[in-house]
Each structure stands twice: as structure tokens, then as C-alpha cells.
Amino acid sequence: MSVSTTITVVGVKDTINALKKIDPQLQKDFRAQANEIAAPAIKAAQEMYSAIPLSGMERNWTSPGRNRKNFPFSIAKAKSGVKLRIDTRRNAVGVILIEQKDPAAAIFETAGRANANKLGEQLGFVGAGRTRFIGPAVYRARRGIEQEMKKMILDTAAVVRKEL
């Protein structure tokens, strides 16, 4: 389960896919530059993880019937789980996403937002489509990265048009 927040710019998906067709190295450079620009938002989200939310979260939990280990919650894993992902699939909602890859931290971020449950009640209310730490942190850091990201995308689109 991953948690994400997005900044939407029209045409990004086509531009990134065209980069791969023109030269795969251009797409790698785009990803590296996007990671560099998004670093302040990623760092802001990582800094939000400073304590284990509930004492029971530091113990082992498994999903019933699946034998899938979801916990223990670790601050270090939660911080390292915040990553930028570029998703160019046809049905993708966002293209450039900041996500939580650690299962325990992702459960913490979203518990109780779709339907009421005991874990969500213990952690506190989080609205539908919202997250506890990543969303607020990224939205606070958004102003610093949004213009740079748009400029990079428009510059990349110009390169793609020139190459085609």
C-alpha cells in the first residue's frame, strides 16, 4: 500500500514516455532532476516521522490469512520509505508522486480514512483522500518546488518537440 500526493501538469505523461523513445538516458536524467527538485518536499515529509505513534506499533503484526508482515513501525524505515515515483501508466491518477513505500508507515498514514476502525480511531481523524504526515508536509513545501518542476517539465517538452 502506498500513499501519495500529486502536483498535476497536463502533458507530462506523454513527455516522459517520449523521452524513453528518443533516448532512455534523457528519461533517467529527467527522473534524477525531478528527485533533486522534489528533495525539499521529501525531506519535509521525512522530518515528520519523529516518534512511534502508538506503542503497539513497534510489535510484529501480520495480516490475517495472508501471513504478510505489516509491522513493526520503525522511524528509520518510515523516513527511508518516502520516495518520488514517476507513474506513466495509462490509468495513473498522478504522474509525479511522493509516496510512502514502507507498509507500516503507509498504514499509519491512511488508517481510518475509508471506513471507521479501531486503529484509525486511536490515531485520530484523517479525512477521505488525506494523509496524516505526508500530505501536509508536501503541501507546505509545495510552493518551493512547484515552479521549478513546471519549468523543468516545459523545458523537457521543448526538447521532445525539437527531437521529434
- For the cut 70, the answer to whether the pLDDT of residue 59 exceeds it is no
CA 9/CA 107 separation, integer angstroms:
28
At 23-38, the pLDDT tens digits run 788 888 888 999 999 9
Mean pLDDT computed over every residue of the chain: 77
Share of the chain above pLDDT 70, in %: 77
C-alpha cell at 34: 525531478
Structure confidence at residue 7 (pLDDT): 44
C-alpha cell at 25: 538516458
Using pLDDT thresholds of 50, 70 and 90, give the confidence band for residue 1.
low
Question: Which of 124, 128, 149, 122 has its CA nearest to residue 138?
Answer: 149
Question: Which of 106, 157, 160, 134 has its CA nearest to residue 38?
Answer: 134
Structure confidence at residue 10 (pLDDT): 52
More confident residue, 91 or 7: 91
Residues 72, 76, 78, 81, CA torsion sign = negative
66: Cβ–Cβ under 8 A, 6 or more apart, which residues?
A: none
CA 23/CA 151 separation, integer angstroms:
20
- For the cut 80, the answer to whether the pLDDT of residue 47 exceeds it is yes
Structure confidence at residue 4 (pLDDT): 52
CA 66/CA 69 separation, integer angstroms:
9
Across the range 1-14, mean pLDDT stands at: 58
Using pLDDT thresholds of 50, 70 and 90, give the confidence band for residue 94.
confident
Structure confidence at residue 36 (pLDDT): 92
* Residue 30, domain extent: 3-163
Weakest-pLDDT range from 4-18, 45-59, 138-152 = 4-18
Domain count, the chain: 1
- For the cut 70, the answer to whether the pLDDT of residue 128 exceeds it is no
* DSSP per-residue codes, 88-145: --TT-S-SEEEEE--HHHHHHHHTTSSS--HHHHHH----TT--SSHHHHHHHHHHHH
- For the cut 70, the answer to whether the pLDDT of residue 5 exceeds it is no
Backbone angles phi, psi at 65, to 5 degrees: 80, -10
Structure confidence at residue 9 (pLDDT): 47
Across the range 50-77, mean pLDDT stands at: 73
